[in-house]
Amino acid sequence: IDRNVKEDPRLALFKREWFEGKDCLDIGCNEGLITISIAKKFFCQSILGIDIDAGLVETAYWNLRKSARVKRGNFTSMEASRIQDSECVNHLNANADPASNGKPSSSQTSLPVDELLKRVSFRHENFVGSLSECSGKYDTVLCLSVAKWVHLNWGDDGLINMFVKIWRLLRPGGILLLEAQPWSSYKRNQNVSATARAHFKSICLRPHNLRELLLDKIGFRSAEVITNSLSGTVVGFDRPIVMFCK
């Protein structure tokens, strides 16, 4: 992400109803910037960002603390410790006001600091290799610029397993927002490791096959490209994003 861009332009494509009052999962959250932005802008009930890189997860928590300081002017060490110790998103629902269902009052334009700290959490996790969680846990799952890395590190089987797990974690009517990288990007990154080189040579699924896979094999009901208004307008944000509905 270009840090000179004030707001991730992908946020302009997202609709409030995909997140407001919803339980959300961000796979491959990186430094947590878009995870935090979604919580602040769209008032999700909860959002958990996970990443295989422990260092990025620590940075994500730092960004969350920074965001809280900017909004409130100060942030206590006790609060910092509390949010970093809470690695599981399950506690969020218990802390939230059930009457509000995560939705803002008519006068709110951004999520209050206390609610931001309750609703956003991060976890160090290998999503592909971790044990399956209970099904029907999330309303919205984001998988932005992650599929290529899963594919290169775990091959076709790993990518398919990830999509199956996402489908199981989604509630009926839930959505997956998928931003897949093009095959040219695979070629540029095939030599990052011996594992990536080996998997690159054996990959049968190509990025253009993923829509068919998710609809015909995994079980999603529909697919819609949501990036027509964005593609090609900002360097680095010209990959298609597809919304798949369960």
Tens digit of pLDDT for each residue in 122-149?
Answer: 999 999 988 766 788 999 999 999 999 9
Exposed, middle or buried by CB within 10 Å (0-12, 13-18, 19+), for 229? Answer: exposed
Query: What are the DSSP calls for 33-56, one per residue?
Result: HHHHHHHHHH-BSEEEEEES-HHH
CB atoms within 10 A of CB 2: 10
CB atoms within 10 A of CB 54: 10
Residues 9-245, CATH architecture = 3-Layer(aba) Sandwich (3.40)
Strand 170-179's sheet: what is its strand order?
120-124, 46-51, 23-27, 138-144, 170-179, 241-245, 222-225
- Which single residue is written with the structure tokens 């942030």? 75
pLDDT tens sequence across 25-84: 999 999 999 999 999 999 999 999 999 999 999 999 999 999 888 755 544 444 445 555
pLDDT at 111: 75
pLDDT tens sequence across 91-117: 334 334 444 555 655 456 667 788 899
Domain locations along the chain? 9-245
Residue 166 to residues 126, 128, 134, 204, Cα–Cα distance (Å): 13, 10, 11, 21
CB atoms within 10 A of CB 208: 10
Sign of the Cα torsion 229, 234, 239, 241 reads negative
Cα(120)–Cα(60) distance, integer angstroms: 10
Residue 96 to residues 85, 142, 178, Cα–Cα distance (Å): 18, 22, 28
pLDDT tens sequence across 194-204: 999 999 999 99
The whole-model pTM stands at: 0.82
| Mean pLDDT confidence for 159-185 | 97
Query: Are the beta carbons of 136 and 173 closer than 8 angstroms?
Result: no
